[in-house]
């Protein structure tokens, strides 16, 4: 159980790997995209609007958009409401619920990330400033950030929730974990910071006082909102994040001990 935080992500290759899909696999991939779109259409009829593969929320906001890969279409609606009408959110969907096996996720992973990056280019020719993802959406966001850095020569801020990174992203990164979650690497006997110092660039980490699956309901979503807003502000002011625990200004409750 203690190593779940690391072992659960073993299906993600440690490097950017494109698998040559068979004709049957391509059919399955496009079927998964169709399932995602079908569910998105149900949401966009009552909130937001669609553009390609994306659900656009707070589209009239004046701040630079946050691109985020979610596990379902309810999550972006909840987060966008918390972030406020001036903060556009461009929502994507992970392969959660639309593929049957981890092997399928492994083989489809990079194709999905590049599909989303190409969609971002169609929305805006500039590099997305902030890319995030939670749970199964986090490694998708990680791949998008790596591809975006290569395509644009600019490293966006990458925010992940409940994910131990598998790749060596050298750009600014904030990793968030549930303080009560079994997927929090700070509760294991392996020091995550020591690993990250040798594999990542400028990174920070933070905690939400909630268990896995509780981050888009109160009070977890309130902390998630503030952590996103404050880290984005810090990134825009300095172009990076200090390598340390990122503590929300209003957070006062106990959290797991962090290495100094």
Q: What domains appear along the chain, each with residue ranges and CATH number?
A: 4-12+23-238 (3.40.50.1820)
Of the candidates 115, 105, 113, 39, the residue with the CA atom closest to the CA atom of residue 77:
39
What gap in Å lies between CA 56 and CA 65, rounded to an integer?
A: 10
Burial of 29 (0-12, 13-18, 19+ CB in 10 A): buried
DSSP β-bridge partners for residue 54: 51
Range with the poorest average pLDDT among 45-49, 174-178, 193-197 = 45-49
What gap in Å lies between CA 122 and CA 116, rounded to an integer?
A: 10
pLDDT of residue 210: 87
pLDDT of residue 97: 92
Asked if 206 contacts 227 with a C-beta cutoff of 8 angstroms, the reply is yes
Indicate if the pLDDT at residue 255 is higher than 80.
no
pLDDT of residue 66: 96
Backbone conformation region of residue 34, classed left if phi is above 0, alpha if psi is from -120 to 50, else beta: alpha
- φ, ψ of residue 111 to 5 degrees: the values are -65, -40
Structure tokens at 152: 């644009």
pLDDT of residue 86: 96
User: Averaged over 56-60, what is the pLDDT?
Assistant: 94
DSSP β-bridge partners for residue 130: 66, 157
Query: What are the start-end ranges of the E strands in the chain?
Result: 49-51, 54-57, 66-70, 89-93, 130-134, 157-161, 173-178, 203-208
Indicate if the pLDDT at residue 26 is higher than 90.
yes
Asked if 129 contacts 64 with a C-beta cutoff of 8 angstroms, the reply is yes
Which pLDDT tens digit goes with each residue over 63-93? 999 999 999 999 999 999 999 999 999 999 9
- pLDDT bracket for residue 3 (50, 70, 90): low
pLDDT of residue 119: 94
pLDDT of residue 254: 46
pLDDT of residue 45: 77
User: Averaged over 39-58, what is the pLDDT?
Assistant: 89
Of the candidates 186, 189, 188, 159, the residue with the CA atom closest to the CA atom of residue 175:
159
Residue-averaged pLDDT of the chain: 90
Q: Tokens 């993802």 sit at which residue?
A: 133
Element at 155 (helix H, strand E): none
Indicate if the pLDDT at residue 248 is higher than 80.
no
Indicate if the pLDDT at residue 250 is higher than 70.
no
- pLDDT bracket for residue 252 (50, 70, 90): very low
Torsion angle defined by CA atoms of residues 17, 18, 19 and 21, in that order, rounded to the nearest 10 degrees:
160
């Amino acid at each position: 159980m203690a190593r779940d935080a690391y072992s659960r992500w073993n299906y993600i290759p440690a490097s950017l790997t494109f698998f040559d899909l068979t004709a049957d696999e391509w059919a399955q991939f496009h079927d998964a995209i169709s399932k995602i779109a079908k569910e998105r259409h149900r949401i966009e009829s009552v909130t937001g609007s669609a553009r390609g593969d994306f659900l656009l929320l707070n589209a009239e906001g004046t701040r630079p958009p946050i691109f985020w890969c979610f596990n379902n279409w309810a999550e972006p609606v909840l987060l966008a409401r918390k972030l406020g009408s001036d903060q556009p959110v461009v929502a994507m969907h992970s392969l959660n619920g639309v593929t049957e096996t981890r092997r399928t996720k492994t083989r489809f992973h990079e194709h999905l990330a590049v599909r989303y990056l190409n969609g971002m280019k169609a929305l805006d020719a500039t590099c997305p400033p902030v890319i995030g993802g939670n749970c199964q959406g986090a490694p998708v966001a990680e791949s998008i950030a790596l591809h975006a850095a290569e395509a644009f020569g600019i490293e966006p801020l990458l925010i992940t929730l409940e994910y131990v990174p598998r790749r060596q992203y050298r750009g600014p990164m904030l990793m968030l974990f549930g303080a009560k979650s079994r997927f929090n690497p700070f509760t294991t006997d392996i020091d995550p910071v020591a690993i990250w110092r040798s594999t990542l660039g400028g990174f920070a980490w933070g905690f939400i006082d909630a268990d896995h699956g509780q981050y888009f309901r109160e009070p977890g979503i309130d902390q998630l909102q503030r952590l996103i807003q404050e880290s984005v502000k810090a990134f825009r002011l300095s172009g990076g994040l200090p390598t340390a625990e990122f503590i929300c200004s209003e957070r006062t409750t106990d959290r797991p001990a962090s290495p100094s």
